[in-house]
Amino acid sequence: MKHLISYKTYFLILIIIALLISCTSKSNDKKQPQRSAPVNVAKVIKKDIPIVINAIGNIEASATISLKSQVNGQVSEIYFKEGSYIKKGDLLITIDSRPFEYAVRLAEASLEKTTAQLQQAKRDLERYTTLLSEGYVTQSQYDQMVTYNKTLEATVKADTANLQNAKIQLSYCYIYAPVDGKIGSILIDKGNVIKANDDKPLAIINQIQPVYVAFSIPELYLDEIRDKFKKEGVKVMASATNNNKTVYTGQLTFIDNAVDKTTGTIRMKARFDNKDLSMLPGQFMNVSINLSILKGSLSVPSEAVQIGQKGEYVYRLKDDMTVEIVSVKSIASSEGFTAIQGDVKDGDRVVIEGQQRLAPGMKVTIKNTPDKQGKD
């Protein structure tokens, strides 16, 4: 019986201790103030925001020419340096011309021979005409002479064509630049024997004045770009992806005739003069097009707009220094500001830094001056 009383007393003491600890913990919780998160905020303002389309483009040469020989032969001389800029008409490569010069001389000799024969045949035909009228030759003999003259005339024409062809073949021994452009690597050496129209080119020339930048944009902007293209033209800005300091200005020249179903984009090209030859084929470029300007749109610093599972949102600061989530939709961005649509109004304060520590209803402490739009 004594042991039973002692056990009951022991459990009662434990229960009292647990209650005391619980009460003390709740008392401490009540005494601890709610922590506030430090944030930077900015005001929603009305601002003119240009609608800018950004894309990644690729430079294309206005013409790419693979130099090939049109005759078989041995390379006699190479007159260009790898990577140099060449002018139309510059002599680039010569092929051993001796066999072709010999063919020209043969064709010239053959033409001279048949021409002399034709001249003699014409004189004979004149005599045969007189002899026929006087009855010294028969009609059959005269007809044979006429046929002989026509045969020689045809032979002269054939020899003339052979001579012209021989001269053309000889001209192929001298390869000239067909356009102004930048030539690439030398793919053959002096002394190499090359074949006519071989699969392997002798060198490749890229015409880089002008160049074209090809890029794709979402079909969402197609109608607006097409209308502007027809009325006034579309200016395109481009800068190298590794160097945004140099900006090139070009004009849109091409809109493809179909939208890519897999990406929902349409391909376009812009022409750039490339006067300083700094834009090279294959180079990646940042491309931008200014479509229009949103006048007086509600705008916030771009860092205020966050993306969640339900879409874009901002943290708006309430009068009691707590924050709430407001769903918004971005319309356009420019120079660090984003035009938005949603349940916001001019003058609202939104969080631009420190969002990762926030939750709806949490108190915050402002670190910056909102009138400066978060830029101290």
Model confidence over 297-313: pLDDT tens digits?
A: 899 999 999 998 889 99
Q: What is the pLDDT of residues 127-157, one digit of tens each?
A: 999 898 888 889 999 999 999 999 999 999 9
**Assigned fold of 70-194:** Helix Hairpins (1.10.287)
Query: Which pLDDT score, from 0 to 100, does residue 147 have?
Result: 95
Check if the beta carbon of residue 251 is closer than 8 Å to that of residue 270. yes
pLDDT band at 4 (very low <50, low <70, confident <90, very high): very low
Q: Whose structure tokens read 């790898």?
A: 82
Greater confidence, 96 or 331? 96
Segment 285-289 mean pLDDT: 94
What amino acid occupies position 47? K
Query: Which pLDDT score, from 0 to 100, does residue 374 have?
Result: 45
Least reliable range by pLDDT among 24-38, 81-95, 182-196, 270-284: 24-38
Of 201, 199, 194, 186, nearest to 74 by C-alpha is 194
Query: Which pLDDT score, from 0 to 100, does residue 102 have?
Result: 97
Greater confidence, 2 or 366? 366
Residue 31 has pLDDT above 80, yes or no: no
Query: Which pLDDT score, from 0 to 100, does residue 299 have?
Result: 94
Q: What is the pLDDT of residues 81-122, one digit of tens each?
A: 999 999 999 999 999 999 999 999 999 999 999 999 999 999
Query: Which pLDDT score, from 0 to 100, does residue 294 have?
Result: 84
Would you say the CATH fold of 54-62+207-293 matches that of 37-49+295-372?
Answer: no
Of 110, 115, 105, nearest to 166 by C-alpha is 105
Kindly list the domain boundaries of the chain, sorted by start residue: 37-49+295-372, 54-62+207-293, 70-194
Q: What is the C-alpha separation between 341 and 142, in angstroms, rounded?
A: 102
Percent of the chain with pLDDT over 90: 71
Q: What is the C-alpha separation between 178 and 211, in angstroms, rounded?
A: 17
Residue 43 has pLDDT above 50, yes or no: yes
pTM summary value: 0.66
Domain 37-49+295-372 is in which class?
A: mainly beta
| Residues with Cβ within 8 Å of residue 359, at least 6 apart in sequence | none
**Assigned fold of 54-62+207-293:** Elongation Factor Tu (Ef-tu); domain 3 (2.40.30)
Burial class from Cβ neighbours inside 10 Å (0-12, 13-18, 19+) for residue 185 reads exposed
* Average pLDDT across the chain, whole number: 88
